[in-house]
């Protein structure tokens, strides 16, 4: 067996990738370091990456000064429900656009996907008026859940994946007596784990980090989410930066867990963009 050829270009590529990864990790390292400092030391320069007297008390104070547990519960509740509904509605609609034949399908799909180009800020005011005056859902979690349960991006992502599934597979299932609901549930969903994992990560992160939506619709403290709750560490005359960063570290943990659990499928979904027949 011949020895593998030494490729300087590959070494340079790996070096650049590692360097970029380290640069991307610097803000997270600074956040963890700042979470163990007093306010006066957070923005000290040069940066003291390892505090001489780490203040672990910050991680205890964040639970006492604000109802952090309640905020995390509210955020988890909204995020889990929204993620589940987006997976359900996006995969179901994508199956119809990818595998069913009906009049105006392409026009309807293009029109729906084009809504991605419209920023939410352009219609958030009439949307708020509708939710408040018509449906009377202001200051409720249901308002946020209803508005985020449908995703044009999710439908587009899932449809692109379903398009690579051979039509013959669906035709064979119909011949065997399966209806469209059974084909979607028993064939398409099991085959689309990479796409579902990708959509799960995008939806979970976006909903978990959403600030403007809960800020507009939620006014009661007991119903607020963690992103709004972090603002409670900021008063008119001072800001508890050490506590803000400590709470931010705690809030980051669920996102990391979800990504690590779905990382294998996420990478596969990004790399393949579907099945190759």
What Cα–Cα distance (Å) separates residue 58 from each residue in 54, 157, 242, 269? 9, 41, 7, 39
Average pLDDT over residues 252-270: 79
What is the pLDDT, as a whole number, of residue 74? 94
Alpha carbons within 13 A on the beta-carbon side of 203: 32
pLDDT at 5 (0 to 100): 64
Domain span at residue 104? Answer: 56-272
Residues 17 and 102 in one domain: no
1 falls within a domain = no
**Cα-flanking dihedrals φ and ψ of residue 83, to 5°?**
-60, -45
Cβ proximity of 86 and 197 under 8 Å: no
Q: Looking at the structure, do residues 101 and 209 belong to the same domain, yes or no?
A: yes
Choose the final residue of a domain: 52, 68, 88.
52
Phi, psi of 171 (to 5 degrees): -65, -40
| Nearest alpha-carbon partner for 128 in 220, 215, 228, 209 | 215
Least reliable range by pLDDT among 67-71, 94-98, 119-123, 224-228: 119-123
Q: 134 and 13 in one domain?
A: no
Predicted confidence band of residue 176 (pLDDT cuts 50, 70, 90): confident
Whether the CB-CB separation of 239 and 233 falls below 8 Å is answered with: yes
* Cα–Cα distance measured from residue 160 to residue 172, given in angstroms and rounded to the nearest whole number: 21
Under the phi-then-psi rule, with left for phi > 0, alpha for psi from -120 to 50, and beta for the rest, what region is 55?
Answer: beta
> Does one domain contain both 99 and 124?
yes
Percent of the chain with pLDDT over 90: 25
Considering the domain architecture, whether residues 160 and 214 belong to the same structural domain is answered as yes
pLDDT at res. 145: 93
The answer as to whether 2 is a domain residue is no
Helices (H), ranges, the chain = 8-34, 39-42, 57-65, 68-99, 105-114, 124-129, 141-148, 152-163, 167-175, 180-183, 189-191, 193-208, 212-217, 226-229, 241-272
Task: Supply the pLDDT for residue 272.
Answer: 54
Query: 8 falls in which pLDDT band (50, 70, 90)?
Result: confident
Are both 43 and 64 inside the same structural domain? no
Q: Are 28 and 72 members of one domain?
A: no
| Long-range contacts of 216-222, Cβ-Cβ distance < 8 Å, separation of 24 or more | 216/124, 216/128, 217/128, 217/131, 217/137, 217/138, 217/139, 217/140, 217/143, 217/144, 218/139, 218/141, 218/144, 219/138, 219/139, 220/139, 221/67, 222/67, 222/70
Average pLDDT over residues 212-236: 87
Report whether pLDDT(2) > 80. Answer: no
Residues 39 and 68 in one domain: no
**pLDDT tier at 277, thresholds 50, 70, 90:** very low
Question: Quick one: pLDDT at residue 165?
Answer: 84
Residue 197 domain flag = yes
Distance, first Cα to last Cα, the chain = 34
Please give the pLDDT value at position 271. Answer: 55
Q: What is the mean pLDDT of the chain?
A: 86
Q: Does 270 have pLDDT greater than 80?
A: no
Note whether residue 266 is domain-resident: yes
| Judgement on whether residues 38 and 78 belong to the same structural domain of the protein | no
Look at the chain and report how many structural domains it folds into. 2
Decide which of 63 and 271 is more confident. Answer: 63
187 and 80 within one domain: yes
Q: How far is the C-alpha of 202 from the C-alpha of 83, rounded, in Å?
A: 9
Q: Do both 89 and 20 map to the same domain?
A: no
Rounded average pLDDT over 156-168 = 87
Least confident piece of the model among 34-48, 77-91, 105-119, 185-199? 34-48
**pLDDT for position 274:** 42
- Sorted by sequence, the CB contacts under 8 Å of residue 96 that are 6+ apart come out as 102, 105
**What pLDDT is recorded for position 6?**
61
Do residue 94 and residue 226 come from a single domain? yes
């Amino acid at each position: 067996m011949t020895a593998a050829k030494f490729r300087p270009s590959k070494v340079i590529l790996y070096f650049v990738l590692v360097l970029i990864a380290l640069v991307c990790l610097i803000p997270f390292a600074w956040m963890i370091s700042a979470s163990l400092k007093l306010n006066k030391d957070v923005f000290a320069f040069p940066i003291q990456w390892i505090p001489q007297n780490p203040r672990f008390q910050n991680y205890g104070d964040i639970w006492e000064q604000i109802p952090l547990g309640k905020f995390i519960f509210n955020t988890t509740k909204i995020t889990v429900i929204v993620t589940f509904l987006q997976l359900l509605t996006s995969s179901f609609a994508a199956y119809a656009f990818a595998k069913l034949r009906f009049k105006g399908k392409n026009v309807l799909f293009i029109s729906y996907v084009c809504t991605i180009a419209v920023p939410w800020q352009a219609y958030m005011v009439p949307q708020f008026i509708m939710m408040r005056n018509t449906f009377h859902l202001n200051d409720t979690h249901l308002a946020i859940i209803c508005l985020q349960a449908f995703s044009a991006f999710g439908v587009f992502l899932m449809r692109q994946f379903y398009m690579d599934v051979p039509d013959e597979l669906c035709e064979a299932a119909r011949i065997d007596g399966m209806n469209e609901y059974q084909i979607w549930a028993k064939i398409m969903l099991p085959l689309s784990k990479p796409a579902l994992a990708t959509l799960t990560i995008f939806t979970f992160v976006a909903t978990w980090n959403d600030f403007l939506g809960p800020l507009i619709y939620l006014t009661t403290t007991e119903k607020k989410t963690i992103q709004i709750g972090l603002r409670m560490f900021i008063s008119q005359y001072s800001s508890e930066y050490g506590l803000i960063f400590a709470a931010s570290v705690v809030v980051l943990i669920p996102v990391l867990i979800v990504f690590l659990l779905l990382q294998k499928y996420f990478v596969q979904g990004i790399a393949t963009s579907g099945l190759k027949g």
